């Protein structure tokens, strides 16, 4: 609490300690932005689908032992139209990649993506395989990366809490406005086609640029 005569700090500039002090006096201060983000971060609905072994760990996270329900994220939805979190859990083959992008497009904004496990991040142990995508972030934006082969359920829960922290820090307006609120945010991402030798295009150029590897003369 400010000393007598001192100006009261604006809600947006208050420290957690000042808020806690006010709370002890029965005064709860918040903003519409905080309330909105708090509600969304504690009611995340993941899309119910899995791609490989990492999906077993994701399923385990929903069981009584790990209980993802504690974080408000237990309502796995079978329809992308009712989901706001895509957990890419497993190996993304090039045959499956266009379908994953299509599912992403069918999810309404605001939506988030967790790349769970080495395969979803980079192709993992199958990176050199001709048929495996070397990271889902070549096509869709990833908010949280969870390393491991496979990551344990606790790692998924940690990734989920990191995503919740990210959502709570989003701004509804201003220069740091959340991506999904910006008019330039693309409503849908291009879905790759099956080409003669690879996916066409092999990555979304707006999202990913492969590193250039200059050949030695």
Residue of the chain from 37, 91, 93, 122 that contacts ligand SF4 (CB under 6 A)? 91
Q: Which residue number, 118 or 160, has a Cβ lying nearer to ligand SF4?
A: 118
Residues 160 and 122: beta-carbon distance below 8 Å: no
Q: Which residue number, 80 or 117, has a Cβ lying nearer to ligand SF4?
A: 117
Annotated binding site for [4Fe-4S] cluster: 53-54, 119, 149
Q: Which residue number, 37 or 153, has a Cβ lying nearer to ligand SF4?
A: 153
Indicate whether 2 belongs to the interface with ligand SF4 (CB under 6 A): no
Indicate whether 192 belongs to the interface with ligand SF4 (CB under 6 A): no
Segment 134-153, which members bind ligand SF4 (CB under 6 A)?
149-150
Q: Which residue number, 125 or 169, has a Cβ lying nearer to ligand SF4?
A: 125
Residue of the chain from 14, 22, 53, 189 that contacts ligand SF4 (CB under 6 A)? 53
Residues 6+ apart with CB under 8 A from 152: 57
Q: Cβ 58 to ligand SF4, closest distance in Å?
A: 10
Binding residues vs ligand SF4 (CB under 6 A)? 52-54, 90-91, 117-119, 124-125, 149-150
């Amino acid at each position: 609490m400010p000393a007598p005569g001192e100006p009261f700090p604006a809600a947006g500039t208050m420290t957690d300690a000042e808020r806690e002090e006010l709370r002890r006096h029965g005064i709860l201060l918040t903003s519409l932005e905080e309330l909105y983000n708090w509600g969304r971060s504690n009611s995340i609905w993941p899309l119910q689908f899995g791609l490989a072994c990492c999906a077993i760990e994701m399923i385990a996270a929903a069981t009584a032992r790990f209980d993802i329900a504690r974080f408000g994220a237990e309502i796995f939805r079978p329809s992308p139209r009712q989901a706001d979190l895509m957990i890419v859990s497993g190996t993304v083959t090039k045959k499956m990649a266009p379908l994953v992008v299509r599912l992403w497009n069918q999810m309404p904004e605001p939506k988030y993506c967790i790349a769970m496990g080495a395969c979803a991040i980079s192709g993992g142990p199958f990176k050199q395989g001709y048929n495996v995508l070397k990271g889902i972030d070549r096509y869709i934006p990833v908010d949280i990366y969870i390393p491991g082969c496979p990551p344990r359920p606790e790692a998924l829960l940690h990734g989920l809490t990191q995503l919740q922290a990210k959502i709570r820090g989003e701004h509804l307006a201003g220069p740091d406005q959340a991506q999904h609120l910006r008019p330039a945010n693309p409503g849908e991402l291009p879905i790759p086609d099956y080409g003669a030798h690879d996916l066409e295009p092999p990555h979304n150029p707006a999202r990913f640029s492969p590193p250039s590897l200059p050949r030695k003369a």
